Amino acid sequence: MARRDAERIAREKHLQATLADFYQAQGEVERIHNEADIAAAPFEASIQDAVRTLDNLGETRAGIAGLTGLSLPRVRECLAETAVDASTGKTPEPEGPASRAPRADGEMVADKAITETTGSES
């Protein structure tokens, strides 16, 4: 009986030590991820700005993905995130014409981009 009790106690101590290591590592991973997210925030904003600019220049979402190497869902995410102001929950005023017109590929582009490429107002 004494041997079984000693084995059980040793196992419990080993279990406690393993769980303590696990939770310490998990806490460090969270801390590092949070610091990395904070450090990456300005660069994420630059990526979103660049994607928005490419969109305003008339590039399709697939074209933006091809040019940047971003996935199509990530391109859509960047455009959706820049379309709504997080502080007000409202869509910011566009930098060009307010209306958007459909393109042959089904995407929307600013009227100005269509005017510049076709040379006429639509």
Domain ranges in the chain are 2-118
Which residues have CB under 8 Å from 99's CB, separation 6+? 111
Q: pTM of the full predicted structure?
A: 0.53
Residues 40-86 pLDDT 10s: 999 999 999 999 999 999 999 999 999 999 999 999 999 997 665 54
* 44 three-state secondary structure: helix
* Residue spans of alpha helices (H) in 57-71: 61-68
Are the CB atoms for 51 and 70 separated by under 8 Å? yes
* Residue spans of alpha helices (H) in 57-86: 61-68, 72-83
Q: Which two structure tokens, joined as six digits, stand for 116?
A: 């510049």
Selection from 66, 85, 75 nearest residue 48 by Cα: 75
Question: What letter would DSSP give residue 101?
Answer: E
Is 90 or 6 the better-scoring residue by pLDDT?
6
Average pLDDT, the chain: 79
